[in-house]
C-alpha cells in the first residue's frame, strides 16, 4: 500500500483536496447563504495506490489504498497519468475495503502505471454531500448510439439494492421479436444489465414502472408497440426471470401511463394515472388495483369542463404513513393557437382509492367539486417541436406526498409566465392535506422535467433540467435541489452540465417528457437522460461511473474494438444522501 506521498502532504495537499472535491467528488461551490454538508480539510485525507498494467492488458477491478483507521472512504478518482491510450473503464466505491476501485484498459505497447486516489473523512465528521452518477448503458452495448431518453426508476422495496430502470431503449437483439428491455441492477446501481421482459415489439412507447415490498415484484404501465395509444398494465412476480410480464389490463386510446405502488399489510395497491381519450372531453383518469395488480378499476378524475381534453400528465403519489393518495393533473380550460389556459388540480383519496366515491375527499371551495385548484389560468405552450433547445414542451408535472406525514404534499409544474421565459418550473406546498396551498416557493426559468420526492427525514428533493443559453453556447444542466425549509435555502447538486446542441435530435422527446426521483429512507435516487460524452467537466458533482467503454482523458466513447463512438443520449442513474 502507498500512503500519501510527500508531494501531497504540505500545501499541495490542500490544493489537491479542493480541486478534487470540486471537480470530481460533488463539492460544488455554494452560493452565499446556501447550507452545505461538508467536511473541513482538517477532517479529510487522501490515500494513493499505484498499479502496473501490462501492454495491451485490461484490469477491471483494481483496489485503492484503504483509508486509515478512524477514517471512512467518501469518494475517489482513477488517474491514467494523462495517457490518452489508457482508458478508465469503470470506477466505484468498495465499502467493504474502505477504498475506491478502478478499472483501466492499457492499449499501449508497454507496461503502464496508473493511480487510484481515495478521499477519506474522519469518522464522525460530517462528510461532503455524497452524490453518485452512473451511466446505465451496459459494457456489452458500448458501441450503441441510440437516443435512450425518458428514463424511469423503480426500487425493490424488499431489497433496495435491486432496482429497475426503463427508457426509450430498443431491444439490442433484432432477432428477438415481441420483447422490449428494462435495466436491472442488483448492486445498488453501480452496474446495470438489460432484460427483455416487457411484451412490446423491440421497444415501448411510454413506459413507467413501480416496485413493491414483495421481493422481485414489478408493476408497469406501457404504450405497447405496435398499437399506437394501446395501454398495457403489466405485472411480474420475478423481474429477474426471463419470462414476459403478464398483461393485466389492455385498453386503447390512452396516453402517458404513470405508475406508483404502495404495499399494505396484505397486498400491493397500484395506481396508474393516464390521459384516457375514451372518456370524452374529461380525460384525466386513474386505474386503481387493491389486489396486487390483478384487477383494476378505472376512475375518472376531472369533473369540470375542459377544452376537449386534460393535459397528458396525470401523476399519483402515495404517503406510506397511512396510504393517502394524491393525484395532480392539468385542467385545460381553453386551447387556442397551441396554447392551453389551464388549472393545476390536486385530488385526494383517504382510503387508498376504494369506496363508492374515490378521489373526492378534497374539494375546491369555489365550486365544491372534487379536486383542489392549486393555480388557475396559467399559460402552457403546447409545442411538439424543438422549443427549449432540442426539447418539446407542454406537460411537465410532479407531486410528492410526505412519507411520514400525509398532510404535507408538494406539487411542481411548468408553464410560461410571459416575462421573457420559454418555460418555467413552479413549486408549491400544502401542509393541511391539500386544502390550502402556498404561493411559489421556487421558480426556475427555462427548465423542464421536474420531479419531486421527500425523504424520511423531511428533506425535499427537486430534480429538473435547465436550458442555459449564453455567449459561450447553450448548455443542459441537470440539478438536484435539496431543502429542509421550503426552498428558502437549498443545496444544489449539478449532476450534469453538457452541450445543449449535441448530439443531434433523433426524435421527440429529446431528453424525455419526464424523468423521475424517489427516496429510499434518507437517500434520494433518480434517473435522467443526458449527453453521454465522457468529459469530467460535464459532471460537476463527481466523476461518473461508466460501464460502457469510455476514455475520460480524451473525452471519447469507445466500442469493444476501441473505435471511437459518436456521442448520444444515455440514461443516467444517481443517488444522493439527503441533507440533515
DSSP string, 221-290: EEE-SSSSS-EEEEEES-TTSSSPPEEEEEESSEEEEEEEEEE-SS-EEEEEEEEEGGGTT--EEEEEES
* One domain, residues 208 and 354: yes
Residues 99 and 143 in one domain: no
Domain end marker among 122, 146, 169: 122
277 assigned to some structural domain: yes
Distances in Å between the Cα of 218 and the Cα atoms of 32, 99, 150, 246, 524 are 44, 34, 19, 10, 20
Cis peptide preceding 435, ω within 30 of 0 = no
Q: Match 403489466 to its residue by C-alpha cell.
A: 234
Classify residue 531 as exposed, middle or buried by CB count within 10 Å of its CB (0-12, 13-18, 19+): buried
Q: Which of 278, 344, 283 is nearest to 310 (CA)?
A: 283
Q: Are residues 347 and 425 in the same domain?
A: yes
Q: Are residues 430 and 546 in the same domain?
A: yes
Q: State whether 328 and 376 are in the same domain.
A: yes
Q: What is the C-alpha to C-alpha distance for residues 448 and 439, in angstroms, rounded to an integer?
A: 19
Distances (CA, A) of 463 to 351, 372, 425, 452: 29, 24, 11, 6
Range of the domain at 317: 131-577
Same domain, 329 and 375: yes
User: Do 372 and 460 lie in a common domain?
Assistant: yes
- Cβ atoms of 35 and 86 within 8 Å: the answer is no
| Residue at 40 is within a domain | yes
Residues 245 and 343 in one domain: yes
pTM listed for this prediction: 0.82
pLDDT tens-place values along the chain, 580 residues long: 333 322 222 223 333 333 333 333 332 322 222 333 334 445 778 899 999 999 999 898 899 999 999 888 877 888 887 677 888 877 777 877 899 888 888 989 999 999 999 988 887 655 556 899 999 999 999 999 999 999 999 999 999 999 999 999 999 999 999 999 999 999 999 999 999 999 999 999 999 999 998 889 999 999 999 998 999 999 999 999 999 999 999 999 999 999 999 998 889 999 999 999 999 999 999 999 999 999 999 999 999 999 999 999 999 999 999 999 999 999 999 999 999 999 999 999 999 999 899 999 999 999 999 999 999 999 999 999 999 999 999 999 999 999 999 999 999 999 999 999 999 999 999 999 999 999 999 999 999 999 999 999 999 999 999 999 987 799 999 999 999 999 999 999 999 999 999 999 999 999 999 999 999 999 999 999 999 999 999 999 989 999 999 999 999 999 999 999 999 999 999 999 999 8
**Domain end point (choices 96, 122, 148):** 122
* CATH code where residue 108 lies: 2.60.120
- Claim to verify: residue 185 and residue 47 sit in the same structural domain: no
Specify if 535 maps to a domain: yes
If you search the block for the grid coordinates 421479436, which residue do you land on? 177
* 1, part of any domain: no
The reply to whether 85 and 182 lie within a common domain is no
Last residue of a domain, one of 122, 143, 164: 122
Same domain, 114 and 216: no
Give a yes or no: residue 249 inside a domain: yes
Residue in 220, 216, 278, 282 with CA at minimum distance from that of residue 246: 220
Amino acid at each position: 500500500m502507498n500512503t500519501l506521498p510527500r508531494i501531497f502532504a504540505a500545501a499541495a495537499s490542500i490544493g489537491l483536496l479542493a480541486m478534487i472535491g470540486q471537480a470530481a467528488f460533488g463539492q460544488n461551490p455554494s452560493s452565499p447563504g446556501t447550507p452545505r454538508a461538508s467536511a473541513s480539510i482538517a477532517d479529510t485525507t487522501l490515500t494513493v495506490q499505484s498499479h502496473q498494467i501490462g501492454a495491451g492488458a485490461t484490469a477491471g477491478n483494481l483496489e485503492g489504498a484503504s483509508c486509515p483507521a478512524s477514517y471512512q472512504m467518501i469518494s475517489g478518482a482513477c488517474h491514467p497519468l494523462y495517457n490518452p491510450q489508457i482508458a478508465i473503464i469503470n470506477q466505484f466505491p468498495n465499502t467493504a475495503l474502505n477504498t475506491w476501485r478502478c478499472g483501466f484498459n492499457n492499449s499501449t505497447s508497454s507496461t503502464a502505471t496508473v493511480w487510484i486516489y481515495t478521499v477519506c473523512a474522519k469518522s464522525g465528521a460530517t462528510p461532503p454531500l455524497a452524490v453518485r452518477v452512473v451511466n446505465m448503458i451496459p459494457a456489452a452495448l458500448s458501441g450503441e448510439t441510440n437516443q435512450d431518453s425518458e428514463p424511469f426508476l423503480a426500487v425493490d422495496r424488499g431489497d433496495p439494492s435491486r432496482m429497475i430502470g426503463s427508457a426509450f431503449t430498443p431491444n439490442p437483439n433484432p432477432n428477438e421479436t415481441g420483447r422490449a428491455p428494462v435495466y436491472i441492477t442488483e448492486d445498488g446501481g453501480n452496474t446495470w444489465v438489460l432484460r427483455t421482459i416487457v411484451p412490446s415489439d423491440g421497444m415501448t412507447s411510454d413506459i413507467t414502472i413501480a416496485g413493491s415490498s414483495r421481493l422481485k415484484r414489478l408493476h408497469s404501465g406501457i404504450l405497447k408497440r405496435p398499437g399506437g395509444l394501446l395501454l398495457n398494465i403489466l405485472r411480474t412476480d420475478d423481474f429477474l426471470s426471463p419470462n414476459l410480464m403478464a398483461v393485466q389490463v389492455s385498453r386503447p386510446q390512452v396516453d402517458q401511463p404513470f405508475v406508483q405502488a404502495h404495499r399494505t399489510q396484505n397486498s400491493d395497491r397500484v395506481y396508474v394515472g393516464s390521459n384516457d381519450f375514451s372518456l370524452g372531453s374529461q380525460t384525466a383518469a386513474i386505474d386503481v388495483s387493491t389486489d396486487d395488480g390483478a384487477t383494476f378499476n378505472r376512475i375518472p378524475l376531472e369533473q369540470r369542463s375542459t377544452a376537449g381534453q386534460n393535459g397528458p400528465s396525470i401523476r399519483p403519489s402515495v404517503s406510506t404513513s397511512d396510504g393517502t393518495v394524491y393525484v395532480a393533473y392539468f385542467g385545460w380550460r381553453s386551447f387556442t393557437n397551441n396554447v392551453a389556459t389551464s388549472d393545476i388540480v390536486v385530488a385526494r383519496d383517504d382510503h387508498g382509492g376504494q369506496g363508492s366515491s374515490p378521489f373526492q375527499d378534497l374539494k375546491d371551495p369555489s365550486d365544491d367539486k372534487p379536486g383542489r385548484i392549486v393555480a388557475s389560468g396559467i399559460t402552457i405552450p403546447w409545442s411538439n417541436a424543438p422549443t427549449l433547445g432540442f426539447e418539446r414542451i407542454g406537460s411537465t408535472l410532479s407531486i410528492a406526498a410526505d412519507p411520514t406525514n400525509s398532510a404535507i404534499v408538494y406539487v411542481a409544474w411548468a408553464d410560461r409566465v410571459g416575462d421573457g421565459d420559454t418555460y418555467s418550473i413552479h413549486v408549491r406546498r400544502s401542509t393541511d392535506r391539500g386544502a390550502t396551498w402556498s404561493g411559489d416557493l421556487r421558480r426556475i426559468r427555462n427548465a423542464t422535467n421536474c420531479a419531486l420526492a421527500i425523504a424520511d427525514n423531511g428533506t425535499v428533493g427537486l430534480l429538473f433540467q435547465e436550458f442555459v443559453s449564453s455567449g459561450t453556447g447553450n448548455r443542459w444542466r441537470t440539478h438536484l435541489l435539496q431543502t429542509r425549509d421550503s426552498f428558502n435555502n437549498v443545496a444544489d447538486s449539478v449532476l450534469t452540465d453538457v452541450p445543449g446542441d449535441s448530439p443531434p435530435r433523433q426524435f421527440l422527446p429529446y431528453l424525455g417528457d419526464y424523468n423521475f426521483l424517489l427516496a429510499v429512507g434518507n437517500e434520494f435516487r433518480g434517473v435522467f437522460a443526458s449527453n453521454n460524452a465522457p468529459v469530467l467537466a460535464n459532471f460537476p458533482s463527481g466523476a461518473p461511473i461508466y460501464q460502457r467503454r469510455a476514455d475520460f482523458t480524451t473525452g471519447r466513447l469507445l466500442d469493444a474494438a476501441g473505435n471511437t463512438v459518436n456521442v448520444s443520449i444515455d440514461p443516467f442513474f444517481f443517488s444522493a444522501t439527503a441533507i440533515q
